[in-house]
Structure 1
């Protein structure tokens, strides 16, 4: 494929409705030259049908945050308000990006739409995505804002104690920006979104693509409230207990209140709710099934990416039409695999390694 053909493909990816006249203007070549290149690309099978649809394999689209993770690990018990000897790890992270990489490592074609700065960190994120087979070509690169950074301090158990997030560039993922990627999102098998996105963008996405199955990661209690008024447009939502309480107004203190929380989400229109109960397991509810999956307590090295791996597991299970119980078993095993490594993304993440962990003991408590 020639360099000019590559340029044309990139412009078509951004706007499949682009005309040959617009292509000629952007590339500073004649319209007749554009027509020749388009014809050649169609003969090669790269472009098919009208509106210049690209002949891609089935894929999942993820729209969300990407950032640099800077994590501090204390050597001994964490002492607040003091300097702690330990180690510092710098890696690529961000909820949307982490989910996308985990999905890619499970053998699924993945397109990530995010925003980074035009700086060394941003270029590093783009390069790393290519190495793990994840497509970030449709992301925004800003000259105005730096690449997001997530700075966290973990305790001796591997749990996050405090963090600071620099995420201003994500505000640039506007409805207008999303509209220019309409065909990319529309053609995805499903779309994962996270609440690092601006509220107006979450509203626009779920409104403009009513046929899309949206899987939502709530990220945090502060950000989860962005979707309170659009719950009915979501296929799957995966909050933890605190995030669920923020969205429903129902304190989860026992099994009865947990079930009322699940019922609340379904009445709002959510088709499937999965609530993380920490060490107590995972609550699942859809229109037909309701249960709690209890698993053995995992050894935690780094808890930061566990939820992201869980979501990736649900995506894999959905695309492979796996039953609800096995979906949560698989997702919990993916989460456990993530917990066992100091990196946010376990480099050993794979379907094969997840299946090994699925052989460990578990208990399903049916609630309906």
Structure 2
């Protein structure tokens, strides 16, 4: 924040109804200059804009991929090398973007830092983010560049069988651009990153904002390798079994190996480890607690967005200081809601519904 911005912010804090002309007269500068400084304060998150409502810093920043998902759903068992009857859906996706939308739908103010083009896909990403309440003012929008796309084929059980990810544009989200968003990152209550980001950007974020709380989504086995030497910088991680094996070098064939792998991650400095076990639930470990929580048996309609919803649940619980038992129930319930809907993100997800599940679980116990 510049010295002039500090002066203007101080005046607004003393009188939130002050006019731009009054600020200009007091400081002896042009009203147009005041307007520019206020616009910068809005971009930096110190004020929320119209009416000079002061920012409360209670927001989460998500830095990661945004793309358009093209999903093919087969009506029956997939037959390879053949045309399968089914249906095709097109929606905004991307791990980072999906987490951001889930967070926003849960009532958490969320800022997304991502990259997409000014094409039709980019327009769809923009519309769906804004409709869900995600702040995309800090995204990089590139002219004459294709937005990322993710093409997946799901079987009759809703499980993804094969996919192709075209995400070259995320490499344009470079260190210089991230530096320009330092004020947004600095004022975040928590930061989520996914491993679609380049290794250089991930290293820059973790080394230059060590005092901030980072949550990490590993995305895939291959992309998890980017953070294998940086894992201790994260507060919370959510890998699946295969990504955990990649991060720890331990082949997991049972509970003993699962515990050892989680212990390795904790010893490296991770505060909380949630290992996704698919239909078998979640294994959790921190420095004091270790537990395996079974999943509820439900009909899976679309398995694509469950992990993103789970991560959003973890963030919601962290922001709201919920204990670990509440956090696991809340986050698993968020994942179950995602699994039960045809869309990658269940439009019916809400904090109220998930908190009701937490209360119900408490009463049962």
* TMscore range, shorter length: 0.7 to 0.9
Q: Report the counterpart of residue 35 of structure 2 in structure 1.
A: 37
Q: Deviations over 1:248-307 (max 9, x none)?
A: 110111111000001100111111111001111100011111111113222100000000
Paired residues for 1:1-368 under 5 Å: 16-17=1-2, 32-37=30-35, 41=38, 47=41, 53-54=46-47, 55-57=54-56, 58-358=58-358
Cα separation, 2, equivalents of 1:321 and 1:360? 19
CA–CA separation in structure 2 for the residues paired with 1:18 and 1:185? 20
Q: How much has 1:232 moved relative to structure 2?
A: 1.2
In 2, the alpha carbon distance for the partners of 1:357 and 1:149 equals: 34
How far, CA to CA, are the matches of 2:263 and 2:73 in structure 1?
A: 39
Looking at structure 1, the residues matched to 67 and 32 of structure 2 have their Cα atoms a distance apart, in angstroms, of: 37
Q: Hey, what's the Cα distance between the residues in 2 that align with 1:318 and 1:53?
A: 22
Partner SS for 2:193: strand
SS in 2 for 1:131: helix
Cα distance, 1:36 vs structure 2: 4.0
* Alpha-carbon distance, 1:144 to partner: 4.7
Residues of 2 paired with 1:37 and 1:308: CA distance? 38
* Equivalent position SS for 1:103: helix
TM-score in terms of structure 2 length: 0.86
Report the 3-state secondary structure (helix = DSSP H, G, I; strand = E; otherwise coil) of the residue aligned with 2:294: strand
Correspondence for 1:27: none
Conservation of the 8 A alpha-carbon contact between 1:160 and 1:303: yes
Displacement of 1:38: 5.7
How many positions carry a matched residue from both structures?
331
Which stretch has the larger CA shift, 350-359 or 125-134?
Answer: 350-359
User: C-alpha displacement at 1:52, in angstroms?
Assistant: 9.2
Contact 1:295 1:361 in 2 (8 A): no
Q: How far apart are residue 199 of structure 1 and its match?
A: 0.8
Change (3 A) 1:219 1:195: same
Against the structure 1 CA distance between its residues 299 and 177, is the aligned structure 2 distance closer, same or farther, given a 3 Å change threshold? same
CA contact (8 A) 2:100 2:110 kept: yes
Give SS of 2:250's match.
Answer: coil
- Contact 2:221/2:242 (8 A) holds in 1: yes
- Aligned 8 A contact 1:100 1:112 in 2: yes
Contact 1:73 1:153 in 2 (8 A): yes
* Distance apart, 1:89 and its partner CA: 0.6
Describe the superposition over 1:31-66 as per-residue Cα deviations: whole angstroms up to 9, x where unpaired: 735434368x59xxx959xx9943324210000001
Q: How far off is 1:230 after superposition? A: 0.7
Pairwise CA RMSD: 2.2
Distance 2:266 2:80 in 1: 41
**Conservation of the 8 A alpha-carbon contact between 1:60 and 1:110:** yes
Gaps of 5+ in 2: 6-28, 48-53
Report the secondary structure of 1:135's partner residue: coil
Task: Report if the CA contact (8 A) 2:70-2:89 is conserved.
Answer: yes
- 1:245 match: secondary structure: helix
Distance 1:291-1:19 versus aligned 2 partners, 3 A rule: same
Residue segments in structure 1 that go unaligned for 5+ positions in a row: 1-15, 21-30, 363-368
1:149-201 Cα offsets, whole Å, 9 max, x none, are 00000011101000000100000111111000000001000000000101110
Structure 1's consecutive aligned runs of 4 or more residues displaced over 4 angstroms after TM superposition are: 16-20, 356-362
Once residues 246 and 4 of structure 2 are traced to their aligned partners in structure 1, the CA distance between those partners, rounded to angstroms, is 47
Name the SS for the 1:98 alignment partner. helix
Q: Is the 8 A contact 1:112 1:138 kept in 2?
A: yes
